[in-house]
Each structure stands twice: as C-alpha cells, then as structure tokens.
Structure 1
Amino acid sequence: MACRWALGSASLASVSFHGLPPSFTPRTPWSILPLGNMNSLIIGTRGSALALAQTRWVASALRKAHPGLNIEERVIRTTGDAAADAPLASLGSVGLFTSELERALLDGDVDIAVHSMKDLPTESPAELAVVAVPQREDPRDALVLPEGQNVDPQELQELPLPPGAVVATCSLRRRAQLAAGRPDLSFAEIRGNVDTRLRKLDSGQFSACVLASAGLIRLGLADRAALPLAPALCTPAPGQGALAVQARADRPELAQLVSVIHHADTWAASTAERAVLRLLGGGCQVPMGAFARVDGGRLAMIVRLADPFGRQVIRVDAEGDPRDPEAVARVAAAALRQQGADRFLEAHTG
C-alpha cells in the first residue's frame, strides 16, 4: 500500500507498508549466532484473530531467519479479552491486553510475547524489555463503510458522511478528533473483534466505523470498503501499526534471537510517539494521537491532543535525530504543555 504523508509543512515521500514477510531477508543467519543449545521458542499471544495473525507474522519471520527453530504459540487470555463487551473506559486504562502476557513472561511460562505496540503501557516492569520492534504496517485509522459500497481508496482529508451520521468506535481519541471537525456526528460504542464489528456495521446499526488500517491488512481485509484517514484529520494512537516483542531482561539470548526482525526506523518512530504520552502522564484512553516517521535522516512527528468532547484540538510538530527519539518527544511534550495540554488532561481524568 503506498501513500503520501504531510506533517505540518513537511511533505514526506511515498512509503510502502508491508504485511506478511514473503520477501523477509534476515540480517544474520541463525547458524552463525552464538545461541548455545537453544532450538525452541514459546511465544505468548492473545487469542483473537488479529493477535494470532500478528504472532504468526513474527513466527514466520523467525523461522525464515532461523531454519530449524521449533516455535510454539501459547494463547493467554487477558482482562480486555475476558470483558469483550464492556466499554474500555470502564475497565481502566493500563495493561488491559498485556498484563497477563507480562505475568507469563515473568513466570517463565513463555519466552517472548507479541503485543500490539499501542496496547503496551508506557511503563513496564523493570524485569522485562522490548527486544525487537518489527517493521510497521500502515499506521493510519480507516473509515469503514458497509459492505458493497463503492469507495475511492484515497486518503481522506475530510469525512464523506451525511449530517448526523452515526460512527462506531470504542476509542475516545478517534471520537474526540472526528467530532472536532464534524460536531454534527453521533458516536456509538462498539467492542468485539474485527469480524464482530464489521457484522454490526453491515447489519445497518451504524453509518460507518473506524478501525486501524493495520488490523484490516493483517487479517486480509484490505479490500473492505475502508478509507484511510489522513493523520492531520485523525492522528493515530502512539505506536499504532507497530508490534512489540517483549522478553525478560535477563534473557539476552532471546534479544539476540529476535534482533533479526528489528526495524530501527519503526523503533525510533514508535518510541517518540509513546514517550510523548508518557511525559504527559497519559494512558491509552487519553484522546491523544501521535504519528512519527523517519524521512531524509530526520524523525518528524505530529501530535494532536483533544479535549474529551472534541471542542478543541491542539497540535504540535517536532523533529530531530532518529537516534534520540526521546529528545523529539520532550520537544513535543513541552510545546503541548505551552498550549494547555495539562488542562485537557485534567478534563479527561477529572
């Protein structure tokens, strides 16, 4: 999938996002890595179709890099999975889809865990580490219309919806950002896996729903009536479209094993995005979007923070050295605070 990004005054070049890795080429053959007697790996994963697709992407890449490596997938049910019908805001905001996986790592039940980066808390146990960040899939949100509608899959700068349309989303970030541009819209809460959400949409319950483009692509649903939203219209969640491979910090052989799928530019971008959220003291339910990418040797980032009702949105742009994404995040966080970010966050938490 090719697209063109515009971050503030910086126009970024065409970029491709990649799904399953048929062309994946490991940087270092396993046969020359000093991994001792390690010949098997247990990967912890959630049991949803999307989580399994993501884990199998990682497993496929690792098998290609390490011929002969025996990989077992172990499904672990998380709090967010167990309460699939409850509004996310009612469940709290930290570790809904990750805490049980992290516990399995700490207990030694699994060797590594594969997370959606946007679900991973910005603060994790000191005993754990993110040991690889694979290349990112399309990070944009997508406006999904009922099955059968003819759409032009060009990136949207505005929403092609009639006045008063009902948009389904469980994300306060999406709701607030879209309401800022279209206060006439109504919003409905929606939970469940992607198939469940699409069935509800196709049954006529809503005019449209908003999902992550990456999830649709990884599930083989890229041909759905889905329209990618420009980051300036609906800025993605920090880390959206990226995966995080987590392991115990005292298992350096695992870090070395998975290093072949690490993508430095994705690490820099997602680290900067998530660092802004951490510096502002927000969780994954805060209506803040951040999107960064490396272009021309520079890390450029757009951050948008909305009040909970979408009545006001503040935006900052920051750039810097991709080798120091935390510095870029500090610039962005300071600029947000100068524009009143703390007031927005107090309105959300209060």
Structure 2
Amino acid sequence: MGQPETTYNDQNSDEISMRIIALKVKSAFHYIGRKWLTLLLAGLLGAGAGVAFSIFKKPVYTATSTFVLEEEGGRGGGLGQYAGLASLAGIDMGRAGGGIFQGDNILQLYKSRVMIEKTLLSEVDINGKRQLLIDRYINFNKLRKKWKNNANVTFTGDPAKFNRVQDSIISDLTENFNKNLLSVTKPDKKLSIINVDVKSDDEYFAKAFNNKLVETVNNFYTFTKTKKSSQNLAVLQRQADSVKRVLGYSISGVASAIDASPNANPAFTSLKVPSQKKQVDVQASSAIYAEIVKNLEISKISLRQETPLIQIIDQPVYPLPVNKLGKAKAAVIGFIVTIVLTIAVLIAMKMLKSISV
C-alpha cells in the first residue's frame, strides 16, 4: 500500500512545481509590463544609436572578378604518335606540366602570402596617380598613426631585402585579407568557374587590387604550368640555331673548296678530297638540323597543349556593389536589441533582489 501513496505525492509535487513556474513567469511579465516606460526609453536610445552607427559606419564595396580556367585532361592523346620522337629531345608528351596546381590548389594560390605581397607591392594608376597598392591601403586606413615608431616605414625596393618590420606588416596585412577582405570560391564544383571577391572601404582600392591580383596569380599560374615545356623549347631553339650556323659554314666550305680548284684534272682525284669532306659535313649537319627542327615543332605543340586557357568573364566596374546599413534598418535593429538587453537586465536585477531578501 506504500507505493501508490509515493506515486501520488510525486505527481502532486510536479503539479506544485509547474504552478510555481507559471506564477513566476506571470509575475515576470507583470513586472516587465510595469517597466514599459523604461523599455520604451531604452528602445528609443537604441534606435538612435543604430542610426548614428549607420551614419558613421563606412560603406563596404565589393569588387568581383569571374573567370573560366580550362583544366588539362585527355588532351595529349592526339600527340601519342610523336611520343617516341619527342623523347629524343627530352620531352614528355604523355603528361601535363605544372601538376602542383591540379584541382582546387589554385584557390589557395590566390590566398598565398607571396601572391598577396606581389599584388600589394604593385604600382597601379588610380585617378591618374601612380602609387603602390600597399601605400593606398595604409593611407585610407590611417595605419601609420597606429604604428607610431614605424610611421615612416616604406615598401619600395627589393622585397627580398625587406627588414623585419616590413615583413611583419605584410604578414599582418596578408592575414587580414584572408580573414576579412578576400574571398576566392568555385560556385559550382562541377564547373571551372572561379569567383574572386575583394571587399574594402575604398572603392578604388577594391577594384585595383582585384584586377591586379587576378592578373598576378593567373600569369604566375600560366608561367609555372608551362615552365618545363618552355625550357625544353628554349634548349631546342638554341640547338637549332647552332646547327644552322654550322650548316651554313659547311655549305660555304664546299663552295670554297670547289672554287680553289675549279678546273681540276680528273686524273688527280686528291684535288676533290677537300670538297668531298665538306660535302659530308653538309649532309651530316643537314640530317641533324632536320631532326632538331622536327623536335622543335613537337615541343611547340606540347607548349601550346600545356598552356592553360584563362578566360575572364566579368571584371569589376564602377560603381561597385556597396553594402551599407540603412538608417531605418539600423534603427529597428538597435530598438529590438536594446529592448531585449534591457529586459534581461531587469529580470536579472529582480532575481538578485529576491535572492538577497
């Protein structure tokens, strides 16, 4: 008989607890209702603060570039017939160069320190004035006032010879760009379309930095992808020029040998030896030159195959899209946030009073 009595007491205790909670909630609502004037004043102050924030908050401009990057894949099949011949010149026709950039690695290349540094240290024309992008960024953000002891630091000269302060500043700027100002994405992973967004309080800087970054990275990307083929092509071109000169000298030598004995007696065959030796040199040089030229043309084909196609679709144009908080929206947000915070403070104060009593 003891068990049913315990169950009844537990249910009764739960009902009492729920009733107490309901009464406390109701009391809290009544308390908040009595403080309507305080809430209204706080809300109006919050709305005013929101409007003031929207007035003094600088607008943020976004410069966007969109381009298509053609990935290599399956394009070397048509050159299989030349693979054996190309191997004589040290050219690998069976694989594409620049494998370090396969996949989405180019997205990380855009955010690398070296690419951002090269872009910041580039000189551009803004409103008819030539200036470094890094100087433009430092000036409109008034960073020199914050640096105090390093206010006179400059960024001209060879970056490889920069001192510790200069390198530290560039590292901080790179981190800030990666976290807050620069976004590089592929909207659709199935496509090779890449978006580069740059945000800044300075509309001119946003556009100039975006254009220069895309140019710097894409040029570096193309150079690296084709570096091996370009080196092979340069070697073959030097060899072709050298053999061509030798061939020219040999042809001149044959003519000179013939001119030395224009009417040689057929009985004296030794007189023909010099011209015959020169003719052998001409034939050998001609065969070598023909083979090198053949390899040179294959190398040019390989270079064209490995050169990536980067087609710009969209570039930033003025006026740039701007993200600015409107006064009405700022007032509503400030009003709501302030009221919520005020309610939380009032309830916390009431709870503290009840505990102290």
TM-score by length of 2: 0.19
Max radius of gyration: which structure?
A: 2
**Structure with more of its chain in strand, by fraction:** 1
Q: What TM-score, normalized by structure 1, do the two folds share?
A: 0.20
Relative contact order, higher structure (CA 8 A, sep 6+): 2
